[in-house]
Amino acid sequence: MMEDTIAAISTPLGEGGIGIVRVSGPQAIEAVKKVFVPRKNKDLAKVPGFTLHYGKIIDPADGKIVDEVLVSVMRAPKSYTGENVVEINCHGGIVAVEKVLELILKQGIRLADPGEFTKRAFLNGRIDLSQAEAVIDIIRARTDASLKLAERQLSGELREKINAVRQKIINILAFIEVSIDYPEYEFDEVSPDSALKNIDEIISDIQKLLSSYERGRILKEGITAVIAGKPNVGKSSLLNALLRKKRAIVTDIPGTTRDVIEDYLNLKGIPVKIVDTAGIRETEDLVEKLGVEKTREYLNQADVTLFVIDVSMGIDENDEKILSLINKDKSLLVINKIDLLPGKVNFEHYAQKTGIKNYVPFSARNFEGLETLENKLYELFLPEQEGGGESALISNLRHKNYLEKALNSLLSAKKNIASGEPVDLVAIDLNEALRELGAITGDTIGDEIINEIFSQFCVGK
Ligand code: GDP
Ligand code: ZN
């Protein structure tokens, strides 16, 4: 248990209807008592946990009323941090909230560091590290899909999976220990065959989790889609259609979109950063040249390229030039302006000519094909999973790295068993894997990394 008591404003700074000052630690209740005058002379130190109390915050220095508030009391260990927590719901806007915090700090309470409430929850065993990280993800979630993913992680789903895998490793280790202590017995469980089988099972568990990373990452961080194509094919019009608003400048003059323009699109819950580029072509015009340079840069970062052609113009060497710069496997061919040639187009021909398998006949003028385009874009990244698949659980690079390390340790254990090394050598690998997995939940990890993780939080969380 931490000895000092901390406080901070836990709601976003701004003109909200209410703001909350959160106080946590052994002196939380006593400190608030000094500035809070409850309506019915209640004693905060005696009220039951999880109750709400109306009253006024009064500055003890001059007896002036600072705000009318609702105070909630949550007692250790059943609170967010696992300590005594008092939350003061202020009603008077940001100035009042800050004044209340100031008064609390004057009672010998320390201002909380960023993420310190959640860090205490972790240190007091209320949540594991993967759950604490989920709190950051929830705060930062930009879409429903990423929010849901983070909420599942917060519920402890990942911790349970990791702990189940760790338990399997512990079981093997236990038998190894016994066989070292009692060399006269022969244990089936540590026979090379049986150990290899058990380790294979663990490896497969970890691989399943790892394979969920790509999906998890996309749900959480989204994708970058870059619109490319020569001038005047309708790139900016496509961007506008996708965003359903006028954002990029659309003109008849080729090369009008000088700057790279980007915006976010919510594609069935996935955040998609969508970038409109100036046409890529050799140019003497410096302004345009910058746009071209940027386009190349963006193409390198693109998860997907939307390659736009003008069906009324066909494909010429300018299209070919851009085609040579993009990754065709990660592209979608947008055959634009189909309204100009109704009913007589062989679209397959364009797919063959460009070498981009995925194509969508489209009209930025009347939005024909827009829904198909969105569906194809989605399918490209989150294909329907056969047999349901492992639901996305890993979305954090740190978790992925530790899973990979654990996997390597297990592979090394396998190799040592296969080459007949003594069991204590195998035990070293298994212990290593145990530690790597424990780093995900925070059971086996150094202070430095823990501090690093919590420093990503904002104050008050
Ligand atoms: P960009 O240079 O590739 O960004 O092309 P723009 O989006 O600026 O469009 C160039 C011209 O093509 C504009 O006059 C648009 O109105 C027109 N345009 C774009 N899409 C379509 C379409 O689907 N059908 C028709 N008929 N015209 C379009
Ligand atoms: Zn444009």
Write out the two tokens for 98: 């800050």
CA distance 88 to 96: 11
Among 57, 54, 39, CA closest to 95: 57
Report the CATH superfamily, name and number, of domain 134-212+392-454.
tRNA modification GTPase MnmE domain 2 (1.20.120.430)
Q: Is 62 in the pocket of ligand 1 (CB under 6 A)?
A: no
| Residue range(s) in the chain whose domain bears CATH number 3.40.50.300 | 219-381
List binding-site positions for GTP.
232-237, 251-257, 276-279, 363-365
Q: How remote is the C-alpha of 459 from its chain's centroid? A: 19
Q: Are 228 and 295 in contact (CB under 8 A)?
A: yes
List binding-site positions for K(+).
232, 251, 253, 256
What's the pLDDT score for residue 182? 78
Ligand 1 atom closest to Cα of residue 239: 7
Q: Is 92 in the pocket of ligand 1 (CB under 6 A)?
A: no
Among 445, 388, 454, CA closest to 119: 454
Indicate the class that CATH gives domain 219-381: alpha beta
* Ligand 1 pocket, mutate which of 238, 250, 322 (most atoms under 8 A from CB): 250
What's the pLDDT score for residue 367? 93
Instruction: Indicate if the alpha-carbon torsion angle 367, 372, 374, 376 is positive or negative.
Output: negative
Other C-beta atoms lying within 10 Å of the C-beta of residue 187: 13
Q: Largest Cα–Cα distance in the chain? A: 88
What's the pLDDT score for residue 252? 57
Angle at 116 between CA 114 and CA 119, to 5 degrees: 125
| Residue range(s) in the chain whose domain bears CATH number 3.30.1360.120 | 6-112
* Ligand 1 pocket, mutate which of 226, 227, 230, 232 (most atoms under 8 A from CB): 232
Closest C-alpha to ligand 1, atom 14: 252
| Residue range(s) in the chain whose domain bears CATH number 1.20.120.430 | 134-212+392-454
Q: Is 231 in the pocket of ligand 1 (CB under 6 A)?
A: yes
Per-residue pLDDT of the chain (461 residues; tens, 9 = 90+): 578 999 999 987 666 667 899 999 999 999 999 999 999 888 999 999 999 999 999 999 999 999 999 999 999 999 999 999 999 999 877 788 999 999 999 999 999 988 899 999 999 999 999 999 998 888 888 777 888 888 988 989 999 999 999 999 999 998 888 888 877 776 666 677 888 899 999 999 999 999 889 888 888 888 899 999 888 899 989 998 998 865 555 555 555 555 567 788 888 878 888 888 764 555 555 555 555 666 777 888 889 999 999 999 989 988 998 898 889 988 999 999 999 987 778 899 999 999 999 999 999 999 999 999 999 998 887 766 655 445 657 889 999 999 999 999 999 999 999 898 888 899 999 999 999 999 999 988 888 888 888 888 877 78
CATH number for the segment(s) 6-112:
3.30.1360.120
What's the pLDDT score for residue 32? 97
What's the pLDDT score for residue 384? 66
Instruction: Indicate if the alpha-carbon torsion angle 38, 42, 43, 49 is positive or negative.
Output: negative
Q: Is 251 in the pocket of ligand 1 (CB under 6 A)?
A: yes
What's the pLDDT score for residue 386? 55
CA distances from 304 to 280, 298, 360, 378 (A): 17, 10, 14, 11
Write out the two tokens for 275: 């970038």
Closest C-alpha to ligand 1, atom 22: 337
List binding-site positions for Mg(2+).
236, 257
What's the pLDDT score for residue 261? 75
Q: What is the pTM of this model?
A: 0.71
- For 241: left if phi > 0, alpha if psi spans -120 to 50, otherwise beta; the answer is alpha
What's the pLDDT score for residue 189? 62
Write out the two tokens for 306: 């939307």
What is the predicted ipTM?
0.99
Write out the two tokens for 288: 């345009």
Q: Is 365 in the pocket of ligand 1 (CB under 6 A)?
A: yes
